[in-house]
Amino acid sequence: MLKSKPAILFFIFFITLLSVIGTVSLPPALPVIAQLFGVAKADIGMIMSLYTLPGIFLTPVFGYFADKFGRKRILIPSLILFGIFSICCFFATSYSELLLWRFFQGVSAASLGSLNIVLINDYYNNTDKNKILGLNSAVMSLGTAAFPIMTAGLLHFGWNFPFLISSFSILVGLFGGLFFKDAFTITPNSTINPDTNSSRKLLWIYIVSAMTYIILFGCFMTYLPFLISDVLVGKPIFTGLSMTILSVGTLLVALFFGYLSKKTSQYKLLAFSFLIYTISLILFVTASSITQVLIASFIYGCGNAVNFPNTQSIISKLSNPSRLATNLSFNRMSILLGQTIGPLLMGIVFKYSDLNTVFFGGIFLSFLTFVIVYFNRAFNSKSELL
């Protein structure tokens, strides 16, 4: 069984990489897929939305079962099925078939983005938790940096080759099935008395998480590739490069999250992440060269480094241990809701306007969220997080 902390940590990190691979690896391929299957640019977001849609409904269910029956019984089948459906995407012969397999791929991935954080809370105490959450965000950034570049390279062999990247989840699942053991003690008869103030704060955090991903997936992940291909340089490799630079920004700042969380209010850090997003999106709108796009991408990544581990840490501190997987799963549901709504919402905006209006919409939403978080009374009441 996995007993050493390094072995457990690497297992968690692999799950983290797999939790983002289904979304971050695909954007460089979107223009190619749209051209191959004759899909309108306003409709290509469906390939992202159908992946995230099932998680909106299934992630809380998986979280509840993980609290009730243990993490392993949910995690291992999810990993193996995710790899299988990724291979099915590779063999798709039409856009409708690809969308079908993307839906099932999303079903199998629904639990991954919350259970990795649950495992960190299961295995690490409060002293180490923020440091590990920062490292986990750094690892996620490495994945989001590498996967788009890998996709751009694999597109030379065919539009479907990027889907093979995520098939290695089968090996991760088999390894976990053989060697991983739950550290969480199941107490099905425990009484849960949620604190009203904490519940209110959790609800606001879920709303903020959804907004984070509406902006990220609506503007950056879905329509930045078209901004680059139509307005700037027209090559998928530059889309991959911009996402890599974003991840570098996230990586560099995430390494210091443990320090930042000790020096500054976590709620204020969360608010300022949206101010960083606002600045970045303004730079995208005004960009006239790939260099300016890369600078804007780096700044956006810095915002992610402050936002992602911060949100996870706040939820962990506000949660009863016996509801941790459930609460983190609701946050994951909010993330997936944002990932689903974002491309569809900005697709409607693009259909009736242009690319610049899409990014102006993102600017409005990000600044609005900054104001809500910074001045919201729920976040400014006396708390250990202030």
Taking phi over 0 as left and psi of -120 to 50 as alpha, with beta for the rest, 381 belongs to beta
Average pLDDT (340-366) is 92
Taking the C-alpha atoms of 300, 303, 307 and 308 in order, what is their torsion angle to the nearest 10 degrees?
50
Residue 73 or residue 130, greater confidence: 73
- Per-residue pLDDT reduced to its tens digit, 86-110: 999 999 999 999 999 999 999 999 9
The one-letter code for the residue type at 182 is D
Main-chain dihedrals φ then ψ at residue 40, nearest 5 degrees = -65, 145
- Per-residue pLDDT reduced to its tens digit, 145-202: 888 889 989 999 999 999 999 999 999 999 888 888 777 665 554 444 555 668 888 9
**Given a cut of 70, is residue 18 above it in pLDDT?**
yes
Architecture (CATH level 2) of domain 5-181+194-380: Up-down Bundle (1.20)
Domains of the chain by residue range? 5-181+194-380
Quote the pLDDT of residue 225. 83
Quote the pLDDT of residue 106. 94
Quote the pLDDT of residue 251. 86
The pTM (predicted TM-score) of the whole model is 0.78
Quote the pLDDT of residue 44. 85
Cβ neighbour number for residue 196 with a 10 Å cutoff: 7
Residue 383 or residue 252, greater confidence: 252
* Banded model confidence at residue 235, pLDDT cuts 50, 70, 90: low
Quote the pLDDT of residue 23. 86
Confirm if 66 and 9 have CB atoms less than 8 A apart: no
CA distance 330 to 343: 21
* Banded model confidence at residue 224, pLDDT cuts 50, 70, 90: confident
CA distance 33 to 295: 27
Average pLDDT (22-47) is 87
Quote the pLDDT of residue 270. 94
**Given a cut of 90, is residue 205 above it in pLDDT?**
yes
* Banded model confidence at residue 111, pLDDT cuts 50, 70, 90: very high
Quote the pLDDT of residue 312. 87
Question: Token match 């629904």: residue?
Answer: 110
Highest mean pLDDT, choosing among 15-29, 109-123, 355-369 = 355-369
CA distance 136 to 118: 12
- What percent of the chain has pLDDT above 70? 90
Q: What is the mean pLDDT of the chain?
A: 87
The one-letter code for the residue type at 355 is L
Cβ neighbour number for residue 135 with a 10 Å cutoff: 21
Q: What is the DSSP letter of 382?
A: S
Residue 66 or residue 41, greater confidence: 66
End-to-end Cα, the chain, rounded Å: 40
Q: Which of 151-155, 175-179, 258-262, 365-369 comes out lowest in average pLDDT?
A: 258-262
Q: Which of 126-130, 159-163, 213-217, 246-250 comes out lowest in average pLDDT?
A: 126-130
Quote the pLDDT of residue 195. 59
